[in-house]
Amino acid sequence: DNKNLTQTYLKLRRRLKCMASSILKNEEDADDALQEAFCRLLMRKEDTDTSLADGMAVVAVKRICISYLRKRSVRISESIDESVSKLEAPADPLWENEEIKDLTRSLMSKLSPMQKSVFDLVTEGMDYDIISMRLGITEEAVRQNICRARKILRNEYKRFQ
């Protein structure tokens, strides 16, 4: 019920804000994480046991903070990639190398269709909960698929070295 969730959120707000601020080191991001967590809990109010709302709120805020940190690292690596791409490109760029293309196709062919889908969405920076909703599987299934895909790719890559 919205009223109980709202009361729980208001009761925990200061503690959740401190937790989010300490994780993110940014007050605005902490506020955004709190708001997003509350919205997620409201959207799932039918599934939410009000007696467990405190713990669910803490877990939701932690997960959102982790997602924000991941997005930051992706942005940092993208800006590094942009800086590198501004440098003079070599005469034979790696992505035009047919051997690399063949190796990549060969590695990806070892994955199941679900592993490929999950892997592609994770590499696009999508959060596990969004992937689970999009593919109609649980978050745990997303974690298992990405873990197995990485293991397969690692093992196959070692074979080619």
The pLDDT score that the predictor gives to residue 2 is 66
Instruction: Please work out, in degrees rounded to the nearest 5, the angle formed at the alpha carbon of residue 63 by the alpha carbons of 26 and 113.
Output: 130
Q: Where residue 100 falls among pLDDT bands split at 50, 70, 90?
A: low
Rounded average pLDDT over 6-21: 83
Looking from the CA of 151 toward its CB, the CA atoms found within 13 Å total 7
> What percentage of the chain reaches a pLDDT higher than 90?
2
The pLDDT score that the predictor gives to residue 9 is 73
Instruction: Please work out, in degrees rounded to the nearest 5, the angle formed at the alpha carbon of residue 51 by the alpha carbons of 33 and 6.
Output: 45
Q: Where residue 92 falls among pLDDT bands split at 50, 70, 90?
A: very low
pLDDT tens by residue, 110-133: 888 888 888 888 878 888 888 888
Looking from the CA of 139 toward its CB, the CA atoms found within 13 Å total 6
pTM: 0.44
DSSP string, 55-87: HHHHHHHHHHHHHHHHHHHHHHHHHHHHHHHHS
